[in-house]
């Protein structure tokens, strides 16, 4: 019996995490060795994707890619206890293992297991951040995730009751045995997964996490959980009949409006990014409810969004304490790489072509027009263009802050992570068709 | 040559990089070559064999009905590029002197933004389909925002930039919807009106209306005019290049480019003409009420763009493009000579504090006079001929609207006369010192002044412009110039201009304030932000409430899903 490639990757990730945890005392002093082991684990874990199907390929590439950028950021992560870097690296690997399981699981039970691994790692990663707020945010995130996880487990039970198995419900099954028990089960399971997406009304915990967590880690949590959740939800709605997609469209539009209004009210960069993450989750949910084209658009969108969010958070990493106002000239000397990285990320999030964020929005709009018609398309288009009002607000200051590289005194600046994410964003902007084609193969 | 035309958008990018790297003794001098080469390329193409060229990379964006990377270099694009190259070259040279007081890093940033703007504008006019058009469309909007907000430490600049973004966003949303709703394979700007491409609910009217909304947002027409006067918070060279000559005319360009679609939707064409006429009159009236020099000119731009919209709506896209060309020259001239005044008076823009500058600034005086006379349409100058073309078209298409527009020329004379006599004639209100302008500020006025005088003769009497544009600006009837209608419109304008001078500067400078500019925008913004604040306040950070909201949220969604 052959081992599925994704499972092999998961095993490698877990082994890597174990190795790091075993060597904690030594790696605390040697950050080069820590980074090497972490990156090596990620590279080896990516190898089995050669033999995988498109779904596991896209899951491995995007989740492990996010983890790689996070791994580059580990040395500059703002931690409460600075000796905990090995634990952070191990948690990134474990969280990635959970995310890969959630995205590629063969049945619902494994998906639930992956989800729990991911969200526990995420909560701890956030809690390790510097200051009081990260701990509070992590606690809220954990408690709220327990509530939605309970719903998910209950949904799992209902699905088992209706179909007698933990397999992903297929369309034939649903139509044959279509009654409210199965439908309720599918919806509860889907809502449990949606928590990772941070759609309204399950976004409360994520808002605090995105705002308060150390930037280096919050970006990773955001990226990995959204990628995994989109892939899992995409597989769930394929065989879910009519009501769940309609519910997703409704939730998506609500999240777009909610996140856009919330972001408009913010005066601080991190909070604005957190609220706008809700609006972006709305685009994802909307796309997931819009048929096969929509599911492809959702995967395309989440690839680009995750990458852009990582770029923005990488550019903010190691910036030093204190909130960053939306209309303040950044007080410290910003390196050119940091400022340009942040600017590129904001442009892409705002949807200024040819930055890839714009192509992603267009793909969702095109799918929404065909599957959902007038109303949702117009709401999403207006919500999408309104993004310029908050995303571009800091831009004049950011450009004005461009100085010769070097950074301020005592700040560790992770240029490699910004350059890696920035290059990927530019590539996706110029060759969007490639990423879209892969997305379409992954979830038809 | 035609191949080079397609890549004209890249010509300012080397300058952007070099300026960013700090090349050039004077910040920005490394950028100067870009617009110069652009002008040469466009003019050479127009004087040459004029073979249209296309670049088409299909399935660049596979999720769109027409996702090709499609550039089209034809006569209309070349004319727009020539205007862009001409005005931007003058503005670049002017800016070397105008921005010289900024710190070097700021000057570099300014020229990099300018380079980015020119590249985006070139992509906009070279776009073959809606998807590529949107790249340029959003790019010029971004450049406009960054340049309006250029002086970050001055109050109100960021707000003005955000106003521009908000108005643009309305238009962008309309364009986005237009891009996704056309049937598969439709997106080429020239074939939107083919029956296969109109096979959507709403058909030609819907698509044309969406494009009209987009164009109105970009060109500050109708209720979406509010951002343009605020945009005057940016440096004056920007007001000349972006907010008078080129970017704000992009809406007119879009409607001319897609004029066949407009012709297929007559009600939308009438709406375009009515919108243009209303804006032309409203802009003229509003200009009379301004206490600020640049805002007075900005409303003049709003009003003149209204003339162009009216031209397109009358079914005379050529007349609109003709007026776009002449207007670019004389309005840039007006703004740049206003900039000389403002620079000489250390940034003073209030009309009440300006006056009697005729002797102190003879260069600016002469330039502003030439620009004003071209604007009011003194027979023989460029503005007279192009406005004549629009009025003639109106006479044939819709007499009522044409008569309103005819009356508007009187307003034009009144408001520009008020600005001209208010600033240059009468007594000096104070004895503030005047800095004499450097030659770099004055030289760029010369080619623009020449353009303001002679640009009309590109068309009359030999018809050079219309034969160069050919079918790209719609097949129009040959323009009959010097018709009594157009001639009297010019005289009416000159009469208004003279009347302003006769009333004297004391009265002229007195703003007639009736209400504020676009009060509805402020009201909408306050409501919107109020709603946003209330919604954000729901996120109290209290775990108990969050938990309760999650549980109820799950329950409600479950119930809705099960009932569906």
ipTM for the predicted complex comes to: 0.91
Average pLDDT, chain A: 88
Closest to B449 in 3D by CA, of B357, B294, B337: B337
Asked whether B429 and B306 are in contact (CB, 8 A), the reply is no
Could you say which of B109, B158, B532 has the minimum Cβ distance to residue A265?
B532
Question: Average pLDDT, stretch A200-226?
Answer: 91
- In this prediction, residue B515 carries a pLDDT of 41
pLDDT in tens, A353-370: 889 999 999 999 999 999
Contacts of B527 in chain A (CB under 8 A): none
pLDDT tens figures, B488-514: 888 899 999 999 888 765 554 555 444
Whether residue A436 and residue B62 make contact (CB cut-off 8 A), yes or no, is: yes
For residue B199, give how far its alpha carbon lies from the nearest alpha carbon of chain A (Å): 14
Residues whose CB falls within 8 Å of the CB of residue A194, separated by 6 or more in sequence, listed in order:
A148, A202, A229, A233, A251, A285
Distance from CA of A85 to the nearest CA of B (A): 29
Residues B316 and B390: beta-carbon distance below 8 Å: yes
Among A147, A353, A381, beta carbon nearest to B173: A381
User: pLDDT by residue (tens digit) across A383-407?
Assistant: 999 999 999 988 888 888 776 544 4
Q: Tell whether the model's pLDDT for residue B336 goes beyond 80.
A: yes
Q: How far is B196 from chain A (nearest CA, A)?
A: 17
Q: What pLDDT, on the 0 to 100 scale, is given for residue B184?
A: 87
As a whole number, mean pLDDT of residues B113-123 equals 97
Residue of A nearest to B135 (CA): A353
Whole-number Å distance between alpha carbons of A400 and A415: 19
User: Is B512 within 8 Å of chain A by CB?
Assistant: no
Average of pLDDT values for A411-432? 84
Digit-coded pLDDT (tens) for B156-195 = 888 899 999 999 999 999 999 999 999 888 889 998 988 8
For residue B546, give the nearest of A191, A205, A378 by CB distance. A205
For B549, the closest chain A residue by CA position comes to A201
Residue of A nearest to B168 (CA): A385
Residues of B in contact with A247 (CB under 8 A): 557, 560-561, 564
Decide if B62 and A207 are in contact by the 8 Å CB cutoff: no
Which band of pLDDT confidence, cut at 50, 70 and 90, is reported for residue A76? confident
- Domain borders along chain A are 242-444
Whether A365 and B134 lie within 8 Å, measured CB to CB: no
pLDDT of residue B518: 62
Is B529's CB within 8 Å of A265's CB? yes
B253 to chain A, minimum CA–CA distance in Å?
A: 20
- Radius of gyration in angstroms for the set of CA atoms belonging to chain B, rounded to a whole number: 24
A-contacting residues of B 84-113, CB under 8 Å?
Answer: 106, 109
How many CB pairs below 8 A link A and B?
181
Interchain contact, B554 vs A188, CB within 8 Å: yes
What is the pLDDT at residue A81? Answer: 82
Q: Are A299 and A306 in contact (CB under 8 A)?
A: no
B439 vs A: CB within 8 A: no
Query: Which chain B residues touch A352 with a CB distance below 8 Å?
Result: 138-139, 142
Cβ-Cβ contacts under 8 Å, B134 against chain A: 353
Confidence of residue A67 (pLDDT cuts 50, 70, 90): very high
The pLDDT assigned to B516 comes to: 44
Nearest to B535 among A243, A262, A397 (CB): A262
pLDDT given at position A407: 44
Residues B72-99 pLDDT 10s: 999 999 999 999 999 999 999 999 999 9
To probe the interface with A, which of B551, B558, B561, B563 has the most A CB atoms within 10 Å? B561
Would you call B532 and A388 a contact, using CB atoms and an 8 Å cutoff? Answer: no
**Mean pLDDT, rounded, for A420-429:** 91
How many C-beta atoms surround the C-beta of residue B122 within 10 A?
Answer: 29
Query: Does the distance separating the beta carbons of B550 and A144 come in below 8 Å?
Result: yes
Angle (CA) B75 B76 B79, round 5°: 85
Q: Which of B63, B154, B156 to mutate to test the interface with A (most CBs of A within 10 A)?
A: B63
Taking residues B250-254, what's their average pLDDT? 97
Chain A contact present for B548, CB below 8 A? no
Domain residue limits, chain B: 272-512, 525-563
Point out the least confidently predicted range of A139-143, B135-139, B470-474.
B470-474
Q: Which residues of A touch B547 (CB under 8 A)?
A: 143-144, 147
Question: Measured between alpha carbons, how far is residue B545 from residues A396, B253, B535 in Å?
Answer: 38, 53, 15
Check if B19 contacts A (Cβ < 8 Å). no
| A399:B135 CB<8 A | no
- What HEC string does B48-90 produce? CCCCCEEEEECCCCCCCCCCCEEEEECHHHHHHHHHHHHHHHH
Per-residue burial over B138-177, b if 16 or more Cβ lie within 10 Å, else e, is: bbbbbbbbbbbbbbeeeeebbebbbbbbbbbbbbbbbbbb
- pLDDT, residue A280, reads 96
* Residue B470 buriedness (CB in 10 A; 0-12 / 13-18 / 19+): middle
Q: Mark which residues 135-154 of B lie under 8 Å from A by CB.
A: 135, 138-139, 142, 145-146, 149-150, 152
Band of pLDDT at residue A176, cut at 50, 70 and 90: low
pLDDT of residue A410: 40
Say whether pLDDT at A321 is over 80: no
Pick among A253, A279, A354 to test the B interface (most B CBs inside 10 A)? A354
B1 touches chain A (CB under 8 A): no
Q: Closest-CA residue in chain A for B528?
A: A261
DSSP code per residue over A200-211: TTS-HHHHHHHH
Give B364-374 pLDDT, tens digit per residue. 999 999 999 99
What is the spatial distance between Cα B6 and Cα B115, in angstroms, rounded to a whole number? Answer: 17
Cα gap B20→A22, rounded to integer Å: 49
Chain-centroid distance of CA B3 in Å reads 28
Q: Which residues of A touch B528 (CB under 8 A)?
A: 261, 264
**Set of chain B residues whose Cβ sits within 8 Å of the Cβ of A148:** 550, 554
Q: Percent of chain A, pLDDT > 70?
A: 91
Structure tokens at B303: 């009003």
Measured in angstroms, the CA of B181 and the nearest CA of chain A are apart by 7
């Amino acid at each position: 019996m052959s081992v599925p490639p994704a499972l092999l990757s998961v095993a490698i990730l877990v082994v890597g995490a174990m190795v790091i945890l075993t060597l904690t005392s030594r790696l605390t002093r040697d950050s080069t060795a820590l980074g090497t082991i972490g990156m090596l684990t990620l590279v080896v874990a990516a190898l089995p994707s050669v033999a995988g199907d498109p779904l596991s390929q896209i899951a491995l590439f995007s989740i492990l890619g996010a983890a790689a950028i996070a791994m580059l950021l580990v040395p500059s992560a703002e931690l409460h206890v600075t000796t905990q870097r090995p634990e952070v690296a191990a948690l990134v690997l474990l969280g990635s293992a959970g995310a890969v399981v959630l995205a590629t699981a063969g049945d619902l039970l494994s998906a639930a297991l992956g989800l729990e691994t991911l969200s526990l790692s995420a909560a701890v990663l956030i809690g390790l951040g510097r200051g009081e707020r990260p701990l509070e945010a992590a606690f809220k995130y954990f408690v709220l995730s327990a509530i939605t996880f309970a719903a998910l487990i209950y949904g799992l039970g209902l699905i088992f009751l209706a179909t007698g198995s933990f397999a992903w419900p297929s369309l034939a099954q649903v139509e044959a045995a279509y009654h409210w028990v199965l439908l309720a089960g599918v919806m509860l399971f889907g809502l449990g997964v949606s928590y990772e997406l941070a759609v309204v009304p399950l976004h409360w915990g994520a808002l605090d996490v995105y705002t308060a967590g150390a930037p280096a880690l919050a970006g990773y949590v955001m990226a990995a959980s959204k990628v995994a959740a989109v892939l899992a939800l995409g597989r769930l709605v394929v065989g879910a009949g009519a009501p769940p997609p309609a519910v997703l469209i409704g939730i998506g539009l609500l999240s777009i409006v909610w996140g856009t209004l919330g972001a408009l009210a913010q005066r601080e960069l991190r909070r604005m990014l957190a609220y706008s993450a809700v609006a972006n989750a709305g685009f994802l949910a909307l796309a997931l409810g819009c048929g096969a084209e929509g599911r492809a658009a959702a995967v395309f969108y989440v690839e680009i969004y995750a990458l852009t969010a990582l770029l923005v958070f990488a550019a903010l990493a190691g910036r030093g304490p204190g909130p960053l106002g939306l209309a303040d000239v950044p007080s410290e000397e910003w390196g050119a790489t940091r400022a340009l990285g942040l600017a590129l990320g904001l442009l892409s999030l705002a949807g200024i072509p040819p930055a890839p964020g714009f192509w992603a929005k267009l793909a969702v709009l095109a799918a929404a027009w065909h599957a959902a018609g007038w109303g949702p398309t117009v709401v999403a288009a207006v919500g999408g263009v309104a993004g310029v009002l908050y995303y571009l607000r800091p831009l004049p200051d950011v450009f004005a802050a461009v100085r010769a590289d070097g950074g301020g005194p005592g700040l560790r600046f992770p240029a490699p992570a910004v350059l890696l994410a920035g290059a990927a964003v530019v590539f996706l902007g110029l060759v969007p068709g490639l990423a879209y084609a892969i997305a379409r193969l992954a979830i038809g | 040559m035609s191949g080079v035309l397609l890549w004209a958008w890249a010509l300012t990018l080397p300058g952007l990089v070099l300026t960013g790297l700090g090349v050039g003794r004077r910040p920005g001098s490394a950028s100067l070559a870009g617009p110069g080469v652009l002008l040469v390329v466009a003019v050479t193409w127009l004087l040459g064999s004029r073979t249209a060229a296309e670049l088409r990379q299909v399935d660049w964006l596979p999720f769109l009905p027409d996702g090709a990377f499609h550039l089209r270099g034809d006569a209309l694009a070349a004319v727009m590029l020539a205007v862009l190259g001409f005005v931007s070259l003058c503005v670049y040279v002017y800016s070397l002197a105008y921005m010289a007081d900024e710190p070097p890093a700021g000057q570099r940033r300014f020229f990099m933004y300018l380079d980015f703007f020119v590249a985006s504008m070139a992509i906009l006019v070279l776009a073959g389909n809606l998807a590529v058009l949107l790249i340029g469309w959003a790019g010029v909007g971004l450049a406009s925002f960054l340049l309006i907000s250029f002086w970050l430490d001055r109050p109100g600049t960021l707000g003005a930039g955000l106003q521009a973004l908000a108005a643009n966003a309305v238009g962008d949303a309309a364009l986005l919807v237009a891009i996704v709703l056309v049937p598969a394979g439709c997106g080429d700007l020239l074939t939107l009106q083919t029956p296969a491409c109109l096979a959507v609910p709403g058909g030609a009217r819907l698509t044309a209306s969406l494009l009209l909304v987009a164009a109105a947002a970009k060109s500050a027409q109708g209720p979406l005019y509010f951002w343009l006067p605020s945009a005057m918070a940016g440096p004056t060279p920007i007001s000349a290049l972006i907010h008078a000559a080129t970017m704000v005319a992009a809406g007119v360009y879009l409607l001319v480019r897609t004029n066949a679609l407009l012709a297929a939707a007559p009600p939308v064409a009438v709406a375009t003409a009515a919108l243009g006429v209303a804006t032309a009159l409203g802009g003229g009236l509003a200009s009379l009420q301004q206490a600020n020099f640049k805002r007075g000119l900005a409303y003049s731009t709003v009003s003149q763009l209204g003339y162009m919209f009216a031209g397109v709506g009358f079914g005379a896209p050529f007349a609109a493009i003709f007026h776009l060309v002449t207007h670019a020259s004389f309005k840039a001239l007006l703004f740049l000579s206003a900039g000389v005044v403002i620079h000489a008076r250390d940034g003073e823009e209030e009309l009440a504090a300006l006056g009697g500058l005729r002797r102190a600034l003879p260069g600016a005086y002469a330039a502003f006079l030439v620009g004003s006379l071209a604007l009011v349409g003194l027979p023989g100058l460029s503005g007279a001929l192009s406005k004549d073309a629009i009025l003639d078209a109106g006479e044939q298409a819709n007499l009522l609207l044409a008569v309103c527009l005819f009356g508007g020329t009187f307003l034009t004379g009144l408001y520009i006369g008020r600005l001209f006599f208010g600033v240059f004639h009468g007594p000096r209100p104070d004895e503030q010192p005047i800095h004499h302008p450097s030659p770099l500020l004055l030289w760029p006025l010369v080619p623009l002044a020449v353009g303001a005088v002679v640009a009309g003769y590109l068309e009359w009497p030999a018809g050079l412009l219309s034969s160069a544009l050919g079918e790209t600006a719609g097949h129009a009837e040959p323009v009959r110039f010097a018709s009594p209608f157009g001639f009297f419109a010019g005289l009416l304008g000159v009469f208004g201009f003279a009347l302003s001078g006769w009333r004297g500067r004391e009265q002229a400078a007195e703003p007639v304030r009736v209400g504020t500019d676009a009060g509805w925008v402020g009201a909408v913004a306050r409501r919107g932000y109020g709603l946003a604040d209330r919604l954000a306040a729901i996120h109290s950070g209290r775990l108990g409430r969050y938990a309760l909201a999650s549980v109820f949220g799950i329950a409600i969604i479950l119930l809705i899903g099960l009932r569906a």
